[in-house]
A and B are shown apart, each in its own frame.
Chain A
Amino acid sequence: KQEVTQIPAALSVPEGENLVLNCSFTDSAIYNLQWFRQDPGKGLTSLLLIQSSQREQTSGRLNASLDKSSGRSTLYIAASQPGDSATYLCAVNDYKLSFGAGTTVTVRA
């Protein structure tokens, strides 16, 4: 059974600092990995989808890396803003989508 772990569980940074969110998974036989953002009480917004054959994906200030063999992915958010405050979820697709518990980010103005 796929186990997905996200570290840290919570993170508070001043505005402008870069964010580094970590995700690890136990079974490396995956098709892809997807990072989502969730605002309180809301649904999930897809940020980046990275295929198992890719090493990284970028969108604006966001960059996700994937090291499938070691079962790790990292989401980098450059020059954080208060609007980046949310919970970030990592989901691994090995035919089913398995989620981590998320990292709750607070960016202080």
Chain B
Amino acid sequence: ETGVTQTPRHLVMGMTNKKSLKCEQHLGHNAMYWYKQSAKKPLELMFVYSLEERVENNSVPSRFSPECPNSSHLFLHLHTLQPEDSALYLCASSQRDVTRGYTFGSGTRLTVV
């Protein structure tokens, strides 16, 4: 494990379901991120949390709702998704010190049916 743990690893959900993705880090980092990776496309930044406050929302549809209850945990709540939302969702963490690198989790493979 990389120090950033994501659950579940795989998720299949219907378009009317509500589900949540979970991310946990024990690296002492104070910033956490959600990225989306679709086939044949570069990783897209979705949300940034710094010191548990959302500092960036990259025009993500409201059917994706992030939550950061503390500096170690990050959630992505999903509801009424579309098939085109099927992708690999990656969580990352870092220090807000920009000289530090990012650590990524193993991702959740989401399939919307």
Q: Establish whether residues A97 and B45, one from each chain, have CB atoms under 8 Å apart when the complex forms.
A: yes
Write out the residue numbers on chain A whose beta carbons fall within 8 Å of the beta carbon of B45: 96-97
The segment from B12-20, B63-71, B74-82, B94-102 found at the interface with A is: B94-102
Residues of A near B32 (CB, < 8 A) are none
Chain B residue nearest to A102 (CB atoms) is B42
Q: Is the CB of A31 within 8 A of B43?
A: no
Residues 56-113 of B contacting A (Cβ, < 8 Å): 56, 88, 90, 92, 98-107, 109
The closest CB in chain B to the CB of A6 belongs to B42
Contact B102 A97 (CB under 8 A): yes
A41 sits at the interface (CB 8 A):
yes
In the complex, the answer to whether B43 meets A46 with C-beta atoms within 8 Å is no
* Chain B residues, CB < 8 A from A51: 99
Residue pair B98, A95 in contact (C-beta under 8 Å): yes
On chain B, the residues within 8 Å of A95 by CB distance are 98
Contact A100 B42 (CB under 8 A): yes
Q: How far is the CA of A44 from the CA of B90 in the complex (A)?
A: 9
**Bound complex: CA A105 to CA B6 (Å):** 26
* 0 or 1 for each of A32-56: is its CB under 8 Å from B? (1 = yes): 1010100001111110010100000
B43 touches A99 (CB 8 A): yes
What is the distance, in angstroms, from B5's C-beta to the closest C-beta of chain A?
Answer: 10
Cβ contact within 8 Å between A43 and B106: yes
Given that A99-B43, A101-B41 are known contacts, is A42 also in contact with B98, CB under 8 Å in the complex? no
Chain A, Cβ-Cβ closest to B105: A43
Residue among B33, B42, B56, B105 having the largest count of chain A Cβ atoms under 10 Å: B42
Instruction: State the Cβ distance, A66 to closest chain B Cβ, in Å.
Output: 14
Which residues in A have some Cβ–Cβ distance to B below 8 Å?
A: 4, 31-32, 34, 36, 41-46, 49, 51, 89, 91, 93, 95-102
Interface CB pairs A-B, < 8 A, 14: A32-B99, A41-B88, A41-B107, A41-B109, A42-B106, A43-B4, A43-B104, A44-B90, A45-B2, A45-B104, A49-B101, A96-B48, A97-B92, A98-B42
The 7 lowest CB-CB distance pairs between A and B, nearest first, are: A43-B106, A44-B104, A49-B101, A31-B98, A99-B43, A99-B42, A43-B107
